[in-house]
Amino acid sequence: MTDKKILTGKKKIIEVGNIKLGGHYSPVYIAGPCAVESKQQIMETALSLKEIGVDILRGGVFKPRTSPYAFQGLGREGLEYLKEAGETAGLPIITELMDEGHMEIVAEYADIIQVGSRNMFNYSLLKALGSVKKPILLKRGMCATINEWMLAAEYIAVHGNQDIILCERGIRGFDNYTRNTLDLAAVPIMQKETGLPVIVDPSHATGIKDLVTPMSRAALACGANGLMIEVHPNPSCALSDGQQSLNFQEYRQLRQDI
Amino acid sequence: MTDKKILTGKKKIIEVGNIKLGGHYSPVYIAGPCAVESKQQIMETALSLKEIGVDILRGGVFKPRTSPYAFQGLGREGLEYLKEAGETAGLPIITELMDEGHMEIVAEYADIIQVGSRNMFNYSLLKALGSVKKPILLKRGMCATINEWMLAAEYIAVHGNQDIILCERGIRGFDNYTRNTLDLAAVPIMQKETGLPVIVDPSHATGIKDLVTPMSRAALACGANGLMIEVHPNPSCALSDGQQSLNFQEYRQLRQDI
Amino acid sequence: MTDKKILTGKKKIIEVGNIKLGGHYSPVYIAGPCAVESKQQIMETALSLKEIGVDILRGGVFKPRTSPYAFQGLGREGLEYLKEAGETAGLPIITELMDEGHMEIVAEYADIIQVGSRNMFNYSLLKALGSVKKPILLKRGMCATINEWMLAAEYIAVHGNQDIILCERGIRGFDNYTRNTLDLAAVPIMQKETGLPVIVDPSHATGIKDLVTPMSRAALACGANGLMIEVHPNPSCALSDGQQSLNFQEYRQLRQDI
Amino acid sequence: MTDKKILTGKKKIIEVGNIKLGGHYSPVYIAGPCAVESKQQIMETALSLKEIGVDILRGGVFKPRTSPYAFQGLGREGLEYLKEAGETAGLPIITELMDEGHMEIVAEYADIIQVGSRNMFNYSLLKALGSVKKPILLKRGMCATINEWMLAAEYIAVHGNQDIILCERGIRGFDNYTRNTLDLAAVPIMQKETGLPVIVDPSHATGIKDLVTPMSRAALACGANGLMIEVHPNPSCALSDGQQSLNFQEYRQLRQDI
């Protein structure tokens, strides 16, 4: 059924600065806005999250949006802002790469490179990422089977990079009450099958901010190695995904509740 | 989008003997075999589970099997065995009703009447159960939306019986690695929308016994009011669903791990 | 994978009065309203359809509605109206049975008994229908696999009734642009696997009246043995499923276009 | 719900050499192997198909395979073979592009550039294809909604290239009897919504060669503007997708049956 030769289950720890992800290390918290919208927005977010408690700062600068007319991200300019915010707050940063053409600059600026759900099947990109010397966060494709997801990771590994973090972010189902269906069984399955750390993104999985805390608790209870949570200074004005973003006060509450 | 008039969110506590299900009461453990197979099997199970720790004994006597040639359950004879085992061990019992023709006898013997996933859309049965004076455990249909599940409960309620326990048991998805996709977001959603207690069946949801413990932990972490777990004295010989059943030792371990 | 012993592929022809369904006989047209709403409505429909061209009159009198507060059908009264309309127009009638309690009366009045999508997994009902001396139209469950559907038919057959017509009516998918996803590949598959006639319901499958004609053409092109189409004298006032119903003029056009 | 500004429904005809695709022009037949495997294989296929009847020759040279250890295609060498075969037989050629890095060479050799199902959400690639002066065949993502598919086409259009052919190739569902679920309702929907020609790939949609002919007939019956069919000189030895490929004799039969 599968063809794994490298990621066969041996436990892997990913190091990002002082942070250790995987195995029995404490869960890692990744938070930040869906998109970097301005220098001020990401700086404010970085400093607030640092104070509340976060390990890694996230922020999208190249955005894979369903509509060509939606905000597509600030691009390289956003990358500068994100980098500066991370450095000021003392936080490593993660951002999404959509395109091999930006791989060099993203690899230079970011501490972790994210492959989004829409690109999990983009095998050209996966192959290219094999040559990068930064950890890759590989989100599950919205309709990827467990086996397809494992083999997407294997693509990166066989091309030279075994520093891979997996991220369950919900799969597509028949009900649109939630944005996606969070498949938590994938957490212990992927940990066992690949040995890689698996984190969970409850924000995209549910699309509803009231569900972020209970699903975060569930994710950690079944062994997730970390969480990726959308936090925005002012969710109602966010340029994307406002409905599922927490504000600082809500994120503080989440950290207390867990 | 919905039409609820009765189950609009007011918190409901279900009482079964001394057991209280719902609200902030401790999670309730329901366990037992998929099917009652013999007097000895269910008696041994009941006594072992009582000793390890369980609140309610489950066992199927009318079995909705995909194939007409598969074991269909012991029927009324099985009901006698289940009742006797429950009484001997001092445990309330739950069993599935497939058919209005058996409603009277099941209501007489069982402490909770289960509506299985395949009958969640059987509105004639739901209406009939409105007149029964026993709590109903309503499993989610394998492809039921949140809204359809809420309205199935409303069918029972509007016909006279508001003692309803909901059970998330996994929904159908595109991947067959697990038997179903456990949709834990449904737990807080259904609790809030209906006010009813929601329990989780990780055995049917995953179909893989190694996933029962991590998914049980996740279920409780996001607020489930109980768990329903398949336990069989000898899973490898079970007449149905052996792959997902725990033996006594494994169930004991699960209780310690949680 | 399957357990068929009776419906193993031998070609079966179903006879209803002078109508022959299956094999190389011409496609059979079943049409009528989702629900019988009044004596006048069904009589008018029967006479108009007879004039335009139809083989069998459909009309629901026991309606499996998602909400307990939606119109539930006229019941026995509706059955009288449907019968009278069929006799007046010289058309055999088909109606849905939801409940074993109504089996005797439905079998007495109807020429074909329909098992709806929500009851395909209601094995008690399927077993009971094995003893009836009328053909059964078995709709595919909205999330039934090919194998589950075959075995549901086998349930009826093994209990004594092999006069079964299958009806593909769309399955549940991730997109809600159409009401369901019409799975036309199921037509040649089920014909080959079971030998039974397979008809298609493009009205429920798509939920959009503009798609009824192209999907009817496609169904016949891949070998469907008939079509079941919703027609209502005044779709905008229909008590259920108005959006997908054709009026008489639209049905006349469909017959010309095919 | 959507954001189309360019592809709003105005009928579009795509010209490839003498071939006209769309509107009321006769259906176009595209056929060939899943992968170009050798010079001899593709030359033999091209000549045989030309003799039997085909409009455009297909053949993959860059292959998006689930496993990194599966045959990945012959790459540029395969492109040479495909080009030569097409020229010898007098057939335009179509091949898949996975990667912007190959865009120039593929655009130089191919008459139509295919975007495969796995790259429908690869917005960077879609944007890049806006600048190409060749028609694009855009396959539906395996879990793309109608709206997402329309907007993927809009991405190409807004970046400068409106010569787009859509291809329905089956979507992912809960049953694995067929490889995918062919969603033929998408044909009239996409034609009406975008004005673009829509063709159907029954080979990938079903994954079963016996279903290719009935599904081809159904596709044309509901208005598809063409068919894309996998044909291989010796399907049992094919390096990919042999199960769904027709041999020459079977393709000849298909053309006669339609």
Residue of D146, D181, D182 with shortest CB distance to C177: D146
One-letter identity of residue C212: V
Tell me the DSSP string of A130-167: TT-SS-EEEEPPTT--HHHHHHHHHHHHHTT---EEEE
pLDDT tens-digit map of C134-176: 999 999 999 999 999 999 999 999 999 999 999 999 999 999 9
Residue among C105, C225, C220, C205 nearest C164 (CA): C225
pLDDT at C240 over 90: no
C142 touching chain D per CB within 8 A: no
Residue of A100, A119, A142 with shortest CB distance to D101: A100
ipTM score: 0.97
One-letter identity of residue B125: L
One-letter identity of residue C92: P
One-letter identity of residue A237: C
Bridge partners for C22 per DSSP: none
Residue of D143, D172, D174 with shortest CB distance to B172: D174
**Cβ D141 vs Cβ D120: under 8 Å:** yes
B3 touching chain C per CB within 8 A: yes
The residue-averaged pLDDT of D5-14 equals: 96
pLDDT at B1 over 60: no
Mutation pick from D177, D187, D198 vs chain C, by most beta carbons of C within 10 Å, is D177
D177 touching chain B per CB within 8 A: no
Mutation pick from C66, C142, C174 vs chain A, by most beta carbons of A within 10 Å, is C174
Mutation pick from B140, B177, B189 vs chain A, by most beta carbons of A within 10 Å, is B177
Distance from CA of A214 to the nearest CA of D (A): 27
d(CA A211, CA A233): 19
The residue of chain D nearest to residue A115, with distances taken between CA atoms, is: D122
Instruction: Please state the domain extents for chain A.
Output: 14-257
D172 touching chain B per CB within 8 A: yes
B173 touching chain D per CB within 8 A: yes
Question: Chains touching chain A at 3 or more Cβ pairs under 8 angstroms?
Answer: B, C, D
**Cβ D109 vs Cβ D62: under 8 Å:** no
**Angle, CA D80 vertex, CA D76 and CA D85 arms, to 5°:** 145
Q: CA–CA distance from C46 to each of B123, C42, C93, C225, C233 (Å)?
A: 29, 6, 10, 22, 10
C69 touching chain B per CB within 8 A: yes
* Cα torsion through C179, C181, C182, C185, rounded to 10: -170
**Cβ B238 vs Cβ B36: under 8 Å:** no
CATH of domain D14-257: 3.20.20.70
d(CA D28, CA D13): 12
Q: CA–CA distance from C187 to each of C167, C198, C213, D105 (Å)?
A: 9, 6, 17, 43
The residue-averaged pLDDT of C112-118 equals: 98
D173 touching chain B per CB within 8 A: yes
What residues in B contact A206, CB-CB < 8 Å?
185
pTM of the model: 0.97
Tokens 């009765």 belong to B6
What residues in A contact C173, CB-CB < 8 Å?
174
Distance from CA of B181 to the nearest CA of D (A): 11
Residue of A98, A154, A172 with shortest CB distance to D68: A154
d(CA B129, CA B103): 8
| Strands annotated E in chain A | 14-16, 19-21, 28-32, 56-58, 93-96, 112-115, 136-139, 164-168, 198-200, 226-230
Is B145–A215 a contact, with Cβ atoms under 8 angstroms apart?
no
C176 touching chain B per CB within 8 A: no
Residue among C200, C222, C238, C257 nearest C31 (CA): C200
**Grouped pLDDT means (10 residues each) for chain A, 258 residues:** 88 96 97 97 98 98 96 97 98 97 97 98 98 98 98 98 98 96 98 98 97 98 98 91 93 96
D120 touching chain C per CB within 8 A: no
Cβ neighbours of residue C140 closer than 8 Å, sequence gap 6 or more: C117, C120, C149, C166, C167, C168, C169, C171, C186
pLDDT tens-digit map of D83-133: 999 999 999 999 999 999 999 999 999 999 999 999 999 999 999 999 999
pLDDT tens-digit map of C92-110: 999 999 999 999 999 999 9
pLDDT tens-digit map of C201-218: 999 999 999 999 999 999
pLDDT for the residue C91: 98
Distance from CA of B197 to the nearest CA of C (A): 21
Tokens 């499996």 belong to C64
Distance from CA of A72 to the nearest CA of D (A): 10
Q: CA–CA distance from C129 to each of B36, B61, C161, C195 (Å)?
A: 27, 22, 7, 19
pLDDT tens-digit map of B196-240: 999 999 999 999 999 999 999 999 999 999 999 999 999 998 888
Confidence of residue D241 (pLDDT cuts 50, 70, 90): confident
d(CA B101, CA C101): 9
pLDDT for the residue B238: 87
Residue among B178, D69, D241 nearest A4 (CA): D69
Confidence of residue D1 (pLDDT cuts 50, 70, 90): low
pLDDT at C1 over 70: no
Cα torsion B172, B176, B181, B182: sign: positive
**Cβ D58 vs Cβ D94: under 8 Å:** yes
Q: Tell me the two tokens of residue A109.
A: 């600026």
pLDDT averaged over every residue in chain D:
97
pLDDT for the residue A237: 87
The residue of chain B nearest to residue A217, with distances taken between CA atoms, is: B221
Percent of chain B's residues with pLDDT above 70? 99
The residue-averaged pLDDT of C10-16 equals: 97
Question: Chains touching chain D at 3 or more Cβ pairs under 8 angstroms?
Answer: A, B, C
pLDDT tens-digit map of D174-213: 999 999 999 999 999 999 999 999 999 999 999 999 999 9
Cα torsion A237, A240, A246, A248: sign: negative
